[in-house]
Amino acid sequence: MRPLGDSAVRGFPSAVLAGNPAVTHEGAFLGTSAALFLASAGVTVAWCGSMSGGMPMPGGWTMSMAWMRMPGQSWAGAAACFMGMWTVMMVAMMMPSLAPMLSGYRRSLVGSRWVGLTALAGTGYFSVWVLLGAAAYPLGVGLAASEMQWPAVARSVPAATGVLLLLAGSIQLSTWKARQLRLCRSACTCGPPRSPDTRGAFRHGLHLGVHCSLCCSGFMMVLLVSGVMDLTAMALVMAAITAERLGPRPDRIARVAGAVLFGVGIFILARALRSV
């Protein structure tokens, strides 16, 4: 019997193709991923718009409101607000590059448990980013308090920003970054787990999250020094991460991003030193 070619497949009724479980499941997964991305992106834009502005500081820069309490707000409430914003923002930024990895995991599952196990793997992945946000918040609040208390510290922030961007660019240009990027894209690291159960699904998500966070360390540094709530910085970081993960020449993309960060860092540092 002759195998079916593309023309034969195109000849099948659409109802037959739509009834294929693999096609149906993939469409449902992609639709859910797109809905999560659009919803989280919309909430992030609205949230950042409602908290735009900041506090002018010595040295000609503005402190982000992410590290401040609203009038009458407790520190617990401020922390909860930051963590909610951080989590939604991470979903919006990382979903375009995470969806293909979760799709590969979903296809490795057999039976009707793919919905719950895929969701659990995604939960494990974003748990890593939530923990990183929980670690970043007290550091950011502490630095903000120091900058408001001591003007000399505040005036040094532009120069420190330039140095951190140079460091982020150096990370992007390093062999360590290239190795992390290869690990994150490899089938061994991002492939299906050994045990397709609830524990294995969550551990698989954690595994993806750890490798992803290491690979994105330079970009996360950019996001933090920009004040977290800068929509332009978020969009650029998301585009760079997605291009690295899904593009055909990831090493070249990483080096180009590193060169751009290095150049911006030199410019900001030179301007800060000149103003001093």
- Helix locations, the chain, DSSP H: 6-11, 14-18, 21-50, 75-107, 114-149, 151-155, 157-173, 175-185, 187-190, 198-215, 217-225, 231-246, 250-275
Whole-number Cα distances in Å, 147 to 153, 157, 217: 5, 8, 24
What is the crossing angle of helices 114-149 and 198-215, to 10°? 40
pLDDT of residue 66: 83
pLDDT of residue 1: 40
Inter-residue contact 190 to 125 (CB < 8 Å): no
Residues sharing a CB contact under 8 Å with residue 43, sequence separation 6 or more, in sequence order:
88, 92
Both tokens assigned to 23: 């096609």
pLDDT of residue 18: 43
pLDDT of residue 194: 56
Is 187 among the domain residues?
A: yes
Residues sharing a CB contact under 8 Å with residue 135, sequence separation 6 or more, in sequence order:
none
DSSP, collapsed to helix, strand or coil, labels residue 247 as coil
Is 215 among the domain residues?
A: yes
pLDDT of residue 270: 92
pLDDT of residue 7: 38
Whole-number Cα distances in Å, 41 to 59, 212, 232, 234: 32, 20, 13, 10
Number of domains forming the structure of the chain: 1
Q: Cα 56–79–124 angle (5° rounding)? A: 125
Inter-residue contact 181 to 244 (CB < 8 Å): yes
pLDDT of residue 20: 42
Is 1 among the domain residues?
A: no
Is 200 among the domain residues?
A: yes
Residues sharing a CB contact under 8 Å with residue 45, sequence separation 6 or more, in sequence order:
231
pLDDT of residue 253: 94
Task: Write down the residue that tokens 């009834």 correspond to.
Answer: 19
Domain hosting 215: range is: 6-275
pLDDT of residue 35: 95
DSSP, collapsed to helix, strand or coil, labels residue 54 as strand
One pLDDT digit (tens) per residue for the chain, 276 residues: 444 344 333 433 443 334 445 456 778 888 999 999 999 999 999 988 777 767 778 877 888 888 888 888 888 999 999 999 999 999 999 999 999 888 888 887 765 577 888 899 999 999 999 999 999 999 999 998 898 899 898 899 999 999 999 999 999 999 999 999 988 877 444 445 556 778 888 998 998 999 899 999 999 999 998 888 888 999 999 999 999 988 888 999 999 999 999 999 999 999 988 876
Contacts of the segment 41-50: beta carbons below 8 A, 24+ positions apart: 41/92, 43/88, 43/92, 44/85, 44/88, 44/89, 44/92, 44/231, 44/234, 45/231, 47/85, 47/88, 47/229, 48/229, 48/230, 48/231, 48/234
